[in-house]
A and B are shown apart, each in its own frame.
Chain A
Amino acid sequence: DAGVIQSPRHEVTEMGQEVTLRCKPISGHNSLFWYRQTMMRGLELLIYFNNNVPIDDSGMPEDRFSAKMPNASFSTLKIQPSEPRDSAVYFCASTRGYEQYFGPGTRLTVT
């Protein structure tokens, strides 16, 4: 099993640009979570899906953030336009039950 796959692993972009982060969950897992981790705010849940349907997006910081899960094997998190305060490590995790399996993360730097 390849585990949760995230791409890119690192992203450097300029303020105002659109950023798309990608996640491939573990096959057979029916829930997917997007988290953001910073030194100041720790680990924050942004949104999660159950069977490809968004269940709770209350953690999405503002309208600049959007997430989709068009099928069971792919999800995206988009930031448009990006701002320096969006710099963080973004994690995707998937689960079939109680244990969440995390991807390696995408380190986003917005200059």
Chain B
Amino acid sequence: AQSVTQLDSQVPVFEEAPVELRCNYSSSVSVYLFWYVQYPNQGLQLLLKYLSGSTLVKGINGFEAEFNKSQTSFHLRKPSVHISDTAEYFCAVSDAGTASKLTFGTGTRLQVTL
């Protein structure tokens, strides 16, 4: 069985500041990793994914994440945030053998202010 831990339930940050949202996972098998974003009253939208290859993955809206197998982490970063980045961010993991089924973390609320 897999699990995902997002330690920070809320992250407040000022506009144009950098941000890191933390994600750690637990799995006994090879995994695929994902970050999704949910804007208010909307469904989840894929930000980026790691399947294989380079451990630094770039996604939409200027976000990137780094897969660290030894630390079982997949932290999300953005060098300069905008007000429009205010949303809920979910880290998710799937078994590389049964790729479709995702296990989600509890989410991190990113609040960007002026």
Contacts and interface: CB of A to CB of B under 8 A. Distances in A.
Interface string A59-99: 00000000000000000000000000000000101010111
B46 interface: yes
Given A42-B106, A42-B107, A43-B107, A98 B99 contact: yes
Q: Which of the four size classes fits the interface of chain B? A: 20 to 34
Contacts of B41: 104
Given A43-B90, A98-B51, A91 B43 contact: yes
Nearest to B100: A31
Contacts, number: 50
Contacts of A48: 100-101
**A-side binding surface: helix, strand, loop or mixed?**
strand
A42 B109 CA distance: 12
A56 interface: yes
A25 interface: no
Contacts of A4: 43
A98 B43 contact: no
B107 A102 contact: no
A97 B51 CA distance: 11
A13 interface: no
Interface residues of A, number: 21
Contacts of A42: 104, 106-107
A103 B43 contact: yes
A50 B99 CA distance: 12
Contacts of B100: 31, 33, 48, 50, 95, 97-98, 100
A19 interface: no
A91 B32 contact: no
A58 B66 CA distance: 32
Given A4-B43, A43-B44, A93-B44, 5 more contacts: A48-B101, A98-B99, A101-B46, A104-B43, A105-B43
15 contacts: A4-B43, A31-B100, A48-B100, A48-B101, A50-B100, A97-B99, A98-B34, A99-B34, A100-B100, A101-B46, A102-B43, A102-B44, A102-B45, A104-B42, A104-B43
